[in-house]
Structure 1
Amino acid sequence: MDAAITHWINSFAGHNAFVDQAMIAITQAGVPFIVLVVVLQWWSRENRQHLRHVAICAGLAFLLGLAINQGILLFLHRVRPYDAGVSNLLIAKSADWSFPSDHATASMSVAMAFALQRLPRRALAFFAMAFLICLSRIYVGTHYVTDVLGGAATGIVAAIVVRALYRENSKFDRFAKSIL
């Protein structure tokens, strides 16, 4: 079923040059764009100290999620869908294994970090960006659906761990906000 859904989503690739270019742009620039938007939260005029805390939480969740992925990649070696003949690739080949998707982890960790800090409008915007990034990774042929779901789960877990361990107005939080 995973391969069938992946193939179905990827089957739309190559039929509309505008959509193809948009998906390629999202897959290549989506995560850097999310990082930029998080960084820009630092200079927000409203609720500045809380948003700075959330920006740090998002960054920590981002890093923790990607670290977890590296651990997973030591044990799971899933072939990319384009190497298995499931998808047609629109971008350059990746050098690592397919599961889990780092793009999904990175984008979902940030979205979840904002959601856990009760910033619903910002969280919704980040979830929309994360969804587009996840979809683009399947569309361009570099990931299976379950790679993206696994990456999203890793990002969510990372954000929950950071939320549980890194408290607002703690000594470490005040220190982190003062040096950045």
Structure 2
Amino acid sequence: MYELDVAVTRAINGLAGHSAAIDYLMVWISGIGVPVMVMAVALQWWRGSDRTHIRHVLVAAGFSFLLGLGLNQLILLFIHRARPYDNGVTDLLIERSADFSFPSDHATATFAIAAAFLLHGARRAGFAFLAAAWLVAFSRIYIGTHYAGDVFGGALTGFIAALIVLAIYREGTKADRLITRIF
């Protein structure tokens, strides 16, 4: 399995270095993807149509985002995977990271948002966020900071977090009504 992970990672990272414009774009997407997605979620708070349901989805996306990143911190207590550039697998286009490679926080965060929207029935926005999540995840491998397996693990953690939130944070409950009526 490790050989497949390395092969996929090398294939994607091997695309880097051939076009300065694409390299710049991938570095930019990697750096700004998560904040842009978070802003896209937050700006929907004042959306007019079906405001109560949309706000529930937005809060669920926020909880999924936070839970996913929290789960990553637990995983990092047990799994200490070196970055692919430290193992000579990739060429790095950005500064080195001080933390471990598995799972990818960027993938976890973006896939948690997409999954929350999809699981709560906001399909159009959910698929748009899913496309953005795939782009961010791809960029993390392209720039050399993650193995493909790190990104897959992060995506899985994000989806699991969204499933947990779906099971616990119910629409129409007293807590939900309190949160969604703010502003």
- TM bracket (short chain): over 0.9
Of residues 69, 85, 92, the one that matches 1:66 is: 69
One-letter amino acid of the structure 2 residue matched with residue 18 of structure 1? A
Three-state SS of the structure 2 residue aligned to 1:14 is: coil
One-letter amino acid of the structure 1 residue matched with residue 120 of structure 2? Q
Alignment of 1:110-129 (within 5 A): 110-129=113-132
1:119-164: CA deviations, max 9, x gaps? 1110110000000000000000000000000000000000000001
Runs of at least 5 residues in structure 2 that lack an aligned partner in the other structure: none
Give 1:43's aligned residue. 46
Mean Cα deviation higher: 21-30 or 170-179 = 170-179
Give 2:84's aligned residue. 81
Structure 2 CA distance for aligned equivalents of residues 19 and 114 of structure 1: 29
Give 1:138's aligned residue. 141
Shift of 1:179: 3.6
One-letter amino acid of the structure 2 residue matched with residue 161 of structure 1? I
1:30-83: CA deviations, max 9, x gaps? 000000000011011111111111000000000000000000001100000000
One-letter amino acid of the structure 1 residue matched with residue 150 of structure 2? D
Give 1:57's aligned residue. 60
Structure 2 CA distance for aligned equivalents of residues 165 and 25 of structure 1: 35
Give 1:164's aligned residue. 167
Structure 1 CA distance for aligned equivalents of residues 40 and 182 of structure 2: 20
Structure 1 CA distance for aligned equivalents of residues 47 and 161 of structure 2: 25
TM-score computed with the length of structure 2 as normaliser: 0.97
Give 2:98's aligned residue. 95
One-letter amino acid of the structure 2 residue matched with residue 2 of structure 1? D
Identity among equivalent positions (%) equals 54
Mean Cα deviation higher: 40-49 or 100-109 = 40-49
Give 2:153's aligned residue. 150
Report the RMSD for the aligned CA atoms in angstroms: 0.8
Runs of at least 5 residues in structure 1 that lack an aligned partner in the other structure: none
One-letter amino acid of the structure 2 residue matched with residue 145 of structure 1? A
Of residues 103, 108, 133, the one that matches 1:105 is: 108
